[in-house]
Structure 1
Amino acid sequence: MSDSFDVETWRSELEEKRAEKDEFFADHPQSPIPPEEREEFSGLEYFEPDSDYRVDATVTVHDDPEPVTMDTTTGREVRYLRVVTLSFDLERADPELADGTYELAAYQMERPEEEPLFIPFRDKTTGQQTYTGGRYMELSPERDVVDGDDIVLDLNLAYTPFCAYSETFDCPLPPEENWLEVTVPAGERFEQ
């Protein structure tokens, strides 16, 4: 992680993003919370911000991206292209949380007009502390990434897809290659 990283500024910005998202979920017409439930909505559940889950990830670019078919929550299939793989280390002081090197594939639709990288994943919190359908992250690198680049992957930004809140949404399910065999207590929580 960069030497210039300021934990307090990062934490403050993360808390601000979370407050904005809670406001969107509570009040916005496009909120995934059904209108009849919004009055009782008191905010999303989150893991405590933890800068150990803001990691440097090494990029492997797939010059000829393979198509990946993902099932969705309504039983459909959608096709994405696996455009990069991100490799990162998790080093935790807590012996219950395994250290090691992990990989997540990042995808784009087959028409990647400046789309962010889409990273659906599962981990050992899935179905317990987080949504059974997995969680998502999106990355928008400031420039085209090349093999060997290091980019910041902040797992504290992992979020629950809209289909967890309403059946009107159809969400891709993380493919098996993005099932992490580790607990990632970062980002959004979801009570089942």
Structure 2
Amino acid sequence: MTDPFDADTWATELEDKRAEKDRFFDEHPQSPIPPEEREAFDGLAYFDPDPAYRVSATVTVHDDPEADPVPMATTAGREVRYLRVATLTFDLERDDDDLADGTYELHAYQQRPGGDEPLFVPFRDKTTGQQTYEGGRYMELEADRDLEIGDEIVLDLNLAYSPFCAYSETFDCPKPPEENWLEVAIPAGERVE
């Protein structure tokens, strides 16, 4: 995989995306922030951008995702069905934290395989309920083509975000299934204050 990476450009683009999201949450009619709370809203909390959490993941594509659907409980007590379409295997290597070093897996889901919908990657980690939202966080990955076994894809955990139900009980959000609970802290992306 060729991924020309410039850390300064990446950090600037990430901060720009965060500022754009803050504007949406502050001003847009579809913001998950309840209208009565928007005046006090002064932006989301984030971990500092860290390129160590922008990793290359090896893709394992599942041949028949419909054969083994994954039920996910939601914050409203319902259950939704997702299809495990891929497994992403990646290494974390931190210079300052040997506890994070290792190989990890996250599963990627869709509700309908083969469509245009992005890969949905809900997860929990050791920050969940402490530094990050208690219901876990999400990532969405857009592949520029159909993925095949052995492909490499960039998994930027700095893009991890809290679902809308973290901001308002009017939303019903899938909870990460146990197979996507990481036994490591991922101090990247959105956090709670």
Within 1, Cα distance between the matches of 2:122 and 2:158?
Answer: 14
Structure 1 unmatched runs, 5+: none
Within 1, Cα distance between the matches of 2:183 and 2:108?
Answer: 17
Question: Residue 118 of structure 1 aligns to a residue in which SS?
Answer: strand
Identity over aligned residues, as a percent?
75
List aligned pairs for 1:117-136, cutoff 5 A.
Answer: 117-136=119-138
List aligned pairs for 1:51-66, cutoff 5 A.
Answer: 51-65=51-65, 66=68
Give the match for residue 105 of structure 2: 103
Q: CA deviation at 1:15?
A: 0.3
- Aligned in 2, Cα 1:94/1:75: closer, same or farther, shift over 3 Å? same
Corresponding position: 1:150 with 2:148: no
Q: Which shows bigger deviation, 48-57 or 107-116?
A: 107-116
Structure 2 unmatched runs, 5+: none
Give the match for residue 19 of structure 1: 19
Q: CA deviation at 1:37?
A: 0.3
C-alpha contact (below 8 Å) 1:121/1:178 kept by paired residues: yes
Count of residues in Structure 1 that have an aligned counterpart in Structure 2: 191
Give the match for residue 177 of structure 1: 179
Within 1, Cα distance between the matches of 2:55 and 2:11?
Answer: 15
- Aligned in 2, Cα 1:111/1:103: closer, same or farther, shift over 3 Å? closer
C-alpha contact (below 8 Å) 1:47/1:187 kept by paired residues: yes
- Aligned in 2, Cα 1:73/1:10: closer, same or farther, shift over 3 Å? same
Q: CA deviation at 1:190?
A: 1.5
Within 2, Cα distance between the matches of 1:144 and 1:95?
Answer: 35
Over the residues paired in the alignment, what is the CA RMSD in angstroms?
1.2
Q: Which of 80, 83, 95 in structure 1 is aligned with 2:82?
A: 80
Q: Which amino acid aligns with 1:4?
A: P
C-alpha contact (below 8 Å) 1:79/1:110 kept by paired residues: no
C-alpha contact (below 8 Å) 1:120/1:135 kept by paired residues: yes
C-alpha contact (below 8 Å) 2:71/2:80 kept by paired residues: yes
Q: CA deviation at 1:4?
A: 2.1
Moved over 6 A (4+): none
Within 1, Cα distance between the matches of 2:99 and 2:106?
Answer: 18
Per the normalisation by structure 2, the TM-score is 0.96
Give the match for residue 49 of structure 2: 49
Question: Residue 39 of structure 2 aligns to a residue in which SS?
Answer: helix
Give the match for residue 96 of structure 2: 94
Q: Which amino acid aligns with 1:42?
A: D
Within 2, Cα distance between the matches of 1:88 and 1:24?
Answer: 32
Within 1, Cα distance between the matches of 2:123 and 2:92?
Answer: 16
Q: CA deviation at 1:96?
A: 5.7
Corresponding position: 1:160 with 2:162: yes
Q: CA deviation at 1:177?
A: 0.3
